[in-house]
A and B are shown apart, each in its own frame.
Chain A
Amino acid sequence: MRLVVVGNGMAGSRLVSEVRARDPHMRITVLGAETCQPYNRVLLSNVLAGSSRPDQVRLLDASWYDAHNVNAAFGSPVAHVDRETRHVVTEDGRREPYDLLVLATGSQAIVPPLPGVERAIPFRTLDDCERIMQAANQARRAVVVGGGLLGIEAARGLAGRGLPVTLLHLAGHLMERQLDVEAGEVLGETLAGLGVEIRTGVSADSVQADGVRLAGGELVEADLVVLACGVRPVTGLAAEAGLEVRRGVVVDDELRTDDPSIFAIGECAEHDGTVYGLVAPAWEQAAVAADVITGGKALYRGSRLVTRLKARSVELAAMGETQLTEEHAEVVRFSHRARGTYRKLVIRDGRLVGAILLGESDAVGTLTQLFDRGGPVPGDRAGLLFPGLASAPVADSPVLMPDAAKVCQCNNVTKGQIRACWEAGARDVAGVAAATRATTGCGTCRDAVEGIVGWLCEQEGISV
């Protein structure tokens, strides 16, 4: 069995390691267009922000391929798939035979057709990242075009380098696909506090040497312009080979295209009408495809999307249908804009179908898992939004504590026993300890015992 993988990005490299983990012998060839080893695109915003070095985002070491007997070619774009003879042909003329082929060609940055757009740098690949960083070293002001996830991460990263940044966004609020209006606004306020000027509802008209000209004629000054205007699946190879392509390469639940010997995964694939743009679905698809390729019976049924912004000092998680209103769903909402906090739950038929969490919150893990698992939402909605709220306050005042309350866990001593011991004449902690062994284990109840003895003495007017 000869497996050829076209694309060595996050989806392709993941597939290769998943297949190898399941089958140590299959002949695997991976052809990557980029010249470098596969890297984690998710971490590029860290690189841009300067917190990670480019060499720290590698997903596999160069030695991995030899050690795992995988034939890898970097910087080797594929020009053509010959389905008749089952070969892929690279741009430099290499013909690679396959029994099974996986297309993991990913997507490419959308570059809007604006005059002067060649002056701008798209933010998509590690190469892009390095270009932006070099330019940022010389720049005095930056503009980022596009207020989606990637644009915000880029803007935050550049601002973190001390560069004044303006973020231009066409829609009325940031991340409008994931956030409702208020969340978008709170996010904008948080970013503004971190040095990112937010301009929403604006349209860029052209990129000039000294900045970006808006549709209304205003010039937003910048000597570095970064584009984050979305991505488009790379499907040319598949289309040219005659595979069914809509927005992406159409695949079934086994991630197979309409040619059963060809699979497609990741951002180039379209499953059940959806093209995913996040890594989690790509990796889920890689696992399913690897299973199918190695003879398993896994099926892909679509992914639940959780968007997690990776920008220093901005905690944002958004999942599912966040825009539903009270007419269609039960909505629980808490907003405290002065603190940059916004929390929203969208519940339908007793299940969590959407949520937004902006600002640090211990609820994020619980809610993400509840959303992922589709489990029933507990009746106490407030307890979900504010973990810890439901905890009964500990009656640590000696007055309020019931007699049955355990004071010393290690020796199982109650307040009642301490009281009895006091009544029998013990007037200090040592006396109580000698009689009940309270405080002699871990020792953390010492203050509590002291408090109870002191309170009892006080009740009786005995000075200690």
Chain B
Amino acid sequence: MPGSDPVGAPVKTHCPYCALQCGMEIGPGLAIQPRTDIPANASGALCQKGWTAGELLTNGERLTTPLLHGEPVEWDVALDYVAYRLSAIRAEHGPDAVAVFGGGGLTNEKAYHLGKFARVVLGTSQIDYNGRFCMSSAAAASSKAFGMDRGMPFPITDLADADVVLLAGGNVAETMPPFVRHLSGPRMIVIDPRRTQTAKLAWLHLQPTPGTDLALALGLLHLAIADDLVDEAYVAARTTGFDEVRTSLAGWWPERVERITGVPVYRMRQAVRALASAGNAYILTGRGAEQHAKGTDTVSAFINLALALGLPGNYGSGYGCVTGQGNGQGGREHGQKADQLPGYRKIDDPAAREHVAGVWGVRPEDIPGPGRSAYELLDALGTPDGPRAMLLFGSNPVISAPAAEHVAERIGALDLLVTCDFVMSETAVLADVVFPVTQWAEESGTMTNLEGRVLLRRQAVAPPEGVRSDLEVLAGLAERLGHTLATEPAEVFDELRRASAGGLADYSGITYERIAAEAGVFWPCPEPGHPGTPRPFLDSFATPDGLARFVPVQHRPPAEEIDDDYPVYLTTGRVLAHYQSGAQTRRIAALVKAAPEPFVELHPDLAEQLGITAGDVVRVTSRRGEAKAVARISDAIRRDTVFMPFHWEGANRLTNPALDPTSKMPEFKVCAVRVERDS
């Protein structure tokens, strides 16, 4: 059985999964122990995914040979073939005929090199990544309000001392269980259409109609203003734009919001009072609030609430986005996003282009402009104006993209699909060429966790024979296309530091040695002697005048409302035992045992009305496709809504690719479906 060789002494590294990036030690052998020096899980916590992560390293389905049209081939054969095809497609159709699609789980080094490879080696503007499906709405809203997007602009350990934490659309008890340990002190207010494991821990649970979080946030701020709970001194000293927001809220009185959201007015009032009377409070948002065609505005509304209550930039209070993917934060900073260059720079900013061009040794005008966003890119594949070839890294869009059947069709229309993966994911199956690559503990690199803390994920085991790292694949292709790229992570990181210097996400003072010695370093860290910045907004915000911006926003209905044909809302999310598209976790026995199959959660009243009993196979249909799964009956969900986890094929065949106009986030979290017993 192919597998990696364990090394002897324990090696300090991090979990392969979520953005919490729990510290763990591997070894001797493949034994895993939690570290106690990483604040995210310093109490020695790990969830089942973390404890069983070692099985990824011995998995029998591991890829170890490059595949060309399904047949094992030598590395050189596969690399030569891909380079030849890329050159030919580029020559015939131009550089934008080749697309690159990355992932939020890739290390900073890979994310950086992917961006550089696309722009310098391929000369294409067509690069984006699955993080677009993750934190992009929160990122856009944070940038508007604060001039900078650092998921949580404070250490996670600060949360424990808060009096109240409001979590809008996040289920951390399942998605990142050790996070909950930081919430044992504060009163929790949870906003979620389901009474999730997290909502069960809450002091107050608000259960809105899917797609109405924005209205709810407006209603909460309306109440804060009407009940005279606004921190006027803070608003005057540290923000701008409040008057316009106040006027824009006159139409969102709580009784109207109640009718839209289904959240009782007195519950809204309880929430606002608790937040306003707290000495220290945080407002956090997760994908539930963000994955909508109005996700950016929803986050803006929650940030407006936080600003009105005087939270951001005050020690012990604030707003934060609970980033999801392992390197969701770092992955959005270093250039694999269609509109960005390293250091969280904008690709259409001449100064940014000049700086990065200098590091890359190219002319600024040679760097392509902004390309298509993730879904727009997938939707364009194989169309007359769209890319003909795609290189895919760390992503499984056939499972994870909205309207997944359509996306599979688009991928099928490509002339060339190349994937880098370590197992045969559902997307890899469709590829012309699959490169078997190293994973997680078989390679080193940095990850930036949900706090903005740059961490070092060290190699703990030797990779199985035959696999190469993503960096080596990129270098191999670059070489064949006439360019040179480094393959050593430390070397790539040094270049990333220079490329990020002077940008918002400035890593130039961070080194592997410092990360190891300091258990992580917070960006921005502009010089070697700089201590890093755990709380960047204490003195001022990253806007030109240092003031935070109120952004007036208005609620609007979901892109697709329920009607007679599709009378039930569908919302999607995660279960504890699985991660993202499940390509990793669905191959681990203990996790499969814990959560073996997809399911549809529905309320007993809805089940009764539809003649469905627990365990029945039900068919869920939307305008985009259908999926079958086993019924679970639970009164933890609203009567008008069903829930499906998205780790298996199915849920995303149903979801709606309507995009947020700013972030280009698809509307994963609400669409209209019909639910029937499968006869």
- Chain A residues engaging chain B, CB cutoff 8 angstroms: 39-40, 42-43, 46, 51-52, 56-61, 279-280, 306, 308, 310, 315, 360-362, 364-366, 368-369, 372-373, 375-376, 378-380, 383, 390-392, 409-412, 437, 440-444
With most chain B CB atoms within 10 A of its CB, the pick from A373, A392, A410 is A410
Are B253 and A310 closer than 8 Å at their CB atoms? yes
Q: Which residue of B lies closest to A394 (CB)?
A: B200
Are A51 and B228 closer than 8 Å at their CB atoms? yes
A46-B226, A368-B259, A437-B51 given; A379·B605 CB < 8 A? yes
Are A378 and B605 closer than 8 Å at their CB atoms? yes
Are B226 and A308 closer than 8 Å at their CB atoms? no
A441-B45, A441-B48 given; A360·B250 CB < 8 A? no
How many chain B residues have a CB neighbour from A under 8 Å?
A: 57
Are B604 and A390 closer than 8 Å at their CB atoms? yes
**Number of cross-chain contacts by CB at 8 Å:** 140
> How far apart sit A46 and B228, CA to CA, in the bound complex (Å)?
11
CB-CB < 8 A to B609: which residues of A? Answer: 376, 378
Q: Which residue of A lies closest to B43 (CB)?
A: A443
Q: Which residue of B lies closest to A308 (CB)?
A: B255
> How far apart sit A39 and B251, CA to CA, in the bound complex (Å)?
9
A-B contact pairs, 7 of them (CB 8 A): A51-B227, A56-B246, A306-B259, A375-B640, A441-B48, A443-B181, A443-B184
Grouping DSSP codes into helix (H, G, I), strand (E, B) and loop, the A interface class, with mixed when no group exceeds half, is loop
* Any A CB within 8 A of the CB of B567: yes
Shortest Cβ distance from residue B257 to the other chain A in the assembled complex, whole angstroms: 10
Are B244 and A365 closer than 8 Å at their CB atoms? no
Digitize B248-263: 1 where CB-to-A-CB distance is under 8 Å, 0 elsewhere: 0011010110110111
CB-CB < 8 A to B51: which residues of A? Answer: 411, 437, 440
Shortest Cβ distance from residue B143 to the other chain A in the assembled complex, whole angstroms: 23
Within 8 A of A (CB), among B239-298: 243-244, 246-247, 250-251, 253, 255-256, 258-259, 261-267
Shortest Cβ distance from residue A98 to the other chain B in the assembled complex, whole angstroms: 26
Pick the residue among B45, B226, B258, B594 that contacts A364 (CB under 8 A). Answer: B258
> How far apart sit A52 and B222, CA to CA, in the bound complex (Å)?
11
Shortest Cβ distance from residue A279 to the other chain B in the assembled complex, whole angstroms: 8
Pick the residue among A372, A383, A412 that contacts B577 (CB under 8 A). Answer: A412
Are A60 and B247 closer than 8 Å at their CB atoms? yes
Q: Which residue of A lies closest to B197 (CB)?
A: A409
Are B226 and A56 closer than 8 Å at their CB atoms? yes
Shortest Cβ distance from residue B202 to the other chain A in the assembled complex, whole angstroms: 12
* Any A CB within 8 A of the CB of B560: no
> How far apart sit A372 and B173, CA to CA, in the bound complex (Å)?
34
* Any A CB within 8 A of the CB of B462: no
CB-CB < 8 A to B45: which residues of A? Answer: 440-443
Shortest Cβ distance from residue B160 to the other chain A in the assembled complex, whole angstroms: 12
A sample of 17 more A-B contacts (CB under 8 A), given A306-B259, A442-B45, is A56-B225, A59-B251, A308-B258, A364-B264, A365-B258, A365-B264, A369-B209, A372-B259, A379-B608, A380-B604, A409-B173, A409-B177, A411-B48, A412-B590, A412-B594, A437-B46, A442-B180
> How far apart sit A385 and B250, CA to CA, in the bound complex (Å)?
31
Are B173 and A51 closer than 8 Å at their CB atoms? no
> How far apart sit A60 and B46, CA to CA, in the bound complex (Å)?
51
CB-CB < 8 A to A441: which residues of B? Answer: 45-48, 177-178, 180
> How far apart sit A444 and B45, CA to CA, in the bound complex (Å)?
12
Pick the residue among A366, A380, A391, A443 that contacts B180 (CB under 8 A). Answer: A443
Shortest Cβ distance from residue B268 to the other chain A in the assembled complex, whole angstroms: 10
> How far apart sit A51 and B225, CA to CA, in the bound complex (Å)?
9
> How far apart sit A388 and B422, CA to CA, in the bound complex (Å)?
46
* Any A CB within 8 A of the CB of B432: no
Are A43 and B253 closer than 8 Å at their CB atoms? yes
CB-CB < 8 A to B635: which residues of A? Answer: 390-392
Digitize B608-639: 1 where CB-to-A-CB distance is under 8 Å, 0 elsewhere: 11000000000000000000000000010011
CB-CB < 8 A to A379: which residues of B? Answer: 605, 608
CB-CB < 8 A to A360: which residues of B? Answer: 264, 266
Are A315 and B265 closer than 8 Å at their CB atoms? yes
CB-CB < 8 A to B250: which residues of A? Answer: 39-40, 43, 56-59
Are B255 and A310 closer than 8 Å at their CB atoms? yes
CB-CB < 8 A to B253: which residues of A? Answer: 40, 42-43, 310
Are B247 and A366 closer than 8 Å at their CB atoms? no
Are A369 and B251 closer than 8 Å at their CB atoms? no
Pick the residue among B44, B593, B640 that contacts A412 (CB under 8 A). Answer: B593
Within 8 A of A (CB), among B636-658: 638-640
A51-B227, A60-B247, A361-B264 given; A378·B639 CB < 8 A? yes
> How far apart sit A360 and B266, CA to CA, in the bound complex (Å)?
7
> How far apart sit A158 and B594, CA to CA, in the bound complex (Å)?
60
> How far apart sit A366 and B267, CA to CA, in the bound complex (Å)?
13
Q: Which residue of B lies closest to A53 (CB)?
A: B228
CB-CB < 8 A to A279: which residues of B? Answer: 256
